[in-house]
Structure 1
């Protein structure tokens, strides 16, 4: 990134971004994009619900109540599935941390990360404090957030050498959502984007991969930073410009804003583990199904994949974050149970002798040809040696869930029901689903979704 560029006035690209943020509406968004946004919201809510039983989610909610309370006269927001009120940044922190700690949310492959896990928490926080937010305006805000976040990600990855977590750039998307809902003028918007970029967590992704913890993808601080940036800018705090928008070496990322809709180019994870493990999971499940494999038939499993995937954890996990940033563990689950779901990354599964035994037989290596396709593709091939001497080979396999082909509406709804159903009653799962799937209706109210979500789990 050019660090000494002086911009006394807004760069033309900022004016382009501001004009887009001000002019975008439900009617100007292509129909397939707004439909995708609705399904992304449903998927994220399913992850939010399932993640409520994680220790990270509980800690984050309790922490927000104790330390991120709303001051006297300040806007507040309810914590979803909890009901207690906190400040808007506190709501963003708790909600984003909860979603981020169940690695099952959307992503755009070139970004090597995730926007929705921060954008939905920001939307929830701002909408909680707003007099009214229609369903269509909520979907419009999400699309705006996706389009800005992923372009900021592209600019950041192209202009810095380190691999930062998603919080480094999804904070900017959270800020533009707040600016939209608060109807900010361009001067205040420019400072909000600059503050969000400056304070967004430039945390090291590969440190977290090597040492999995509740920090996860940095989104737990991306969301509150973006929310804070809006509130601070409204108070007169300055912070412009955002380099990943206005500096010359970032301009390429914004050239097609409003024409090329990145919202509809995302994947939706079918499994609650790092996306880098999905292709070998798909390959393993196919071999298991086609050859009717059972654990006792397996002698050895060899995975050929890209570098980042091969660097995922290969040991038996002791925490949910370790299971989610593992390669061997979800492959063992796929072989033993024929699925990789929420239960497979929970601690009660870690003592399963079948899973632990299989994990020790799984090995990964880097395939240079596959590595050359990353990040545009997530490929892997799996070779399974059986105890009778047979060797089964999957061949190169692309991760399912999109972007090509996109998951169907039925697939997204099925995943939502499976995830939400691990926590809530069938009746409440249906109530929330109905509210979300109706967000694109002319009289839909996003507050209906929030009211359905805000009640406690019990």
Structure 2
């Protein structure tokens, strides 16, 4: 890194400028995309309210963060920081929340809970809240992309470590922080940044809390800055700063600063169709294509080989005793998609994870890193799936190559499909009428208090999974490449 720009100060000036009087009008396409992000975030968070991690966090919030300032999804109210913690955890609890591929980050779950809670407490209007949400997500995408893959290689989870900066930026805009205070908010967020990838393959629930923690700490950072607590104004680029500590100085300042306010990275976020790690989605698309074209069944399979990029290949574990292990397992996602022909929340329940036939099929999936496919990442998330059939004789193996999974900007989910996803996830919790009211409020986004009021729901019991599914069927399938190999 040879760029000598004052990255933190320039970023803070941009954040402050968007909230200042006379700020440029946010492009209509950006405002529309933020509405989509809010709707998708709420779908994930509402569905996630009855998971073990979300229920436990909500109970902790009731004890440690009491208050009436903001709505807690799943029931009750709390302080702004408490609501951000609870709702952020719920949003990331089912791995069905959005993401940004170049940063390997989920930008909405750690940011929008903070922005919506602060907006509710402050009585902010819709346009101001949309602007704050845009800033929060954009900052998260930029910081994550600037340090990826070095941050991941160092063992950190970008959703947690970059998300806290985005949350502090969005809440800071709502609080009306000046440029100096905004620099301090970012500086304080840097000392809150944290989140390790050691959960992978361990069965630990802590990944769910990463988003909630980032949202909470972003709130605290912004409010502390307003109260006069200062943070370093070189927190990002300094010799002991964020990118030195988390990326070993392997980062790109231009990704943070170039095109701010003109080229919005948030417009290139993806929508998740399957409730599992995004790194496995291209392989899932590929196996579903092969299943549909060749009527494949588990008993026909000798071996499934998945060649993919290196970061995805790290998710090759086959021990799926817990929900999170299954969601993080590429072999499991491929196997259950082949077995059931769809991959929704039901496919990750305990009955599926312990099914002997499915466990056996998972053991027949091999995941390897491919140098050519790795060179494409993170511009794309490719996977090549090769199926060797039992008793096929001299028949060639079946091969499908998917360069980008469904939901990426090049294979988008439209507003109708996104709204359908919301209803499938939210109606079992809110009911059909309340779900429709929330959708109407989000698309209008002219009354934040009305939106948050519509989200009130009775607490749900803790279960292994909520009783809802997200099948692949509502999204039209488009095969990228399917072929037979010699």
Q: What's the TM-score, normalizing by structure 1?
A: 0.89
1:327-368, Cα deviation, whole Å (9 max, x unpaired): 111112211111111122233432233422321221111111
Q: 1:196 to 1:204 in 2, by over 3 A?
A: same
Q: Secondary structure at the match of 2:236?
A: helix
Is the counterpart of residue 368 in structure 1 residue 366 in structure 2? Answer: no
Is the counterpart of residue 340 in structure 1 residue 343 in structure 2? Answer: yes
Equivalent in the alignment of 1:227: 219
Asked if the contact 2:321/2:354 (under 8 Å) is kept, the reply is: no
Q: 1:241 to 1:351 in 2, by over 3 A?
A: same
Distance 2:12 2:90 in 1: 32
State how many pairs are aligned: 442
Aligned partner (choices 213, 219, 241) of residue 204 of structure 2:
213
Equivalent in the alignment of 2:41: 44
Aligned partner (choices 303, 307, 310) of residue 306 of structure 2:
303
Q: 1:18 to 1:393 in 2, by over 3 A?
A: same
Distance 2:453 2:11 in 1: 38
Equivalent in the alignment of 1:415: 421
1:425-447, Cα deviation, whole Å (9 max, x unpaired): 222322222221222xxxx2011
Equivalent in the alignment of 1:82: 75
Q: Secondary structure at the match of 1:256?
A: coil
1:109-157, Cα deviation, whole Å (9 max, x unpaired): 1111111001121022202312x23333322221111222222223444
Unaligned runs of 5+ in 2: 244-250, 461-486
Aligned partner (choices 86, 94, 109) of residue 102 of structure 1:
94
**Bigger shift: 399-408 or 43-52?**
399-408
Q: Secondary structure at the match of 2:165?
A: helix
Distance 1:79 1:224 in 2: 13
Q: 1:187 to 1:396 in 2, by over 3 A?
A: closer
Q: Secondary structure at the match of 2:284?
A: helix
Equivalent in the alignment of 2:187: 194
Q: Secondary structure at the match of 1:436?
A: helix
Distance 2:290 2:300 in 1: 12
Asked if the contact 2:46/2:425 (under 8 Å) is kept, the reply is: yes
Asked if the contact 1:314/1:359 (under 8 Å) is kept, the reply is: no
Q: What is the correspondence of 1:68-217 to structure 2 with a 5 Å cutoff?
A: 68-70=65-67, 76-83=69-76, 85-130=77-122, 132-157=123-148, 162-165=154-157, 166-201=159-194, 203-205=195-197, 207-216=198-207
Asked if the contact 2:270/2:408 (under 8 Å) is kept, the reply is: yes
Distance 2:110 2:20 in 1: 21
RMSD of aligned residue pairs (Cα, Å): 2.6
Q: Secondary structure at the match of 1:216?
A: helix
1:181-205, Cα deviation, whole Å (9 max, x unpaired): 111222222211110122111x332
Q: 1:242 to 1:453 in 2, by over 3 A?
A: farther
Distance 1:223 1:24 in 2: 28
Distance 1:24 1:211 in 2: 50
Distance 1:410 1:319 in 2: 33
Is the counterpart of residue 236 in structure 1 residue 228 in structure 2? Answer: yes
Asked if the contact 1:147/1:262 (under 8 Å) is kept, the reply is: yes
Unaligned runs of 5+ in 1: none
**Bigger shift: 14-23 or 361-370?**
14-23
Equivalent in the alignment of 1:19: 17
Equivalent in the alignment of 1:451: 453
Q: What's the TM-score, normalizing by structure 2?
A: 0.84
1:226-278, Cα deviation, whole Å (9 max, x unpaired): 00001211222111315326889764221210111111011111111111000
Aligned partner (choices 57, 61, 79) of residue 60 of structure 1:
57
1:69-102, Cα deviation, whole Å (9 max, x unpaired): 34xxxx732311212x322212111111121221
Distance 1:451 1:178 in 2: 20
Distance 1:156 1:182 in 2: 28
Q: Secondary structure at the match of 1:117?
A: coil
Q: Secondary structure at the match of 2:98?
A: coil
Distance 1:88 1:242 in 2: 27
- Deviation, 1:23, is 6.1
Q: Secondary structure at the match of 2:261?
A: coil
Asked if the contact 2:16/2:177 (under 8 Å) is kept, the reply is: no
Equivalent in the alignment of 1:434: 440
Q: Secondary structure at the match of 2:59?
A: helix
Asked if the contact 2:66/2:79 (under 8 Å) is kept, the reply is: yes
Q: 1:328 to 1:157 in 2, by over 3 A?
A: closer
Asked if the contact 1:305/1:364 (under 8 Å) is kept, the reply is: yes
Aligned partner (choices 324, 328, 338) of residue 325 of structure 1:
328
Asked if the contact 1:176/1:189 (under 8 Å) is kept, the reply is: yes
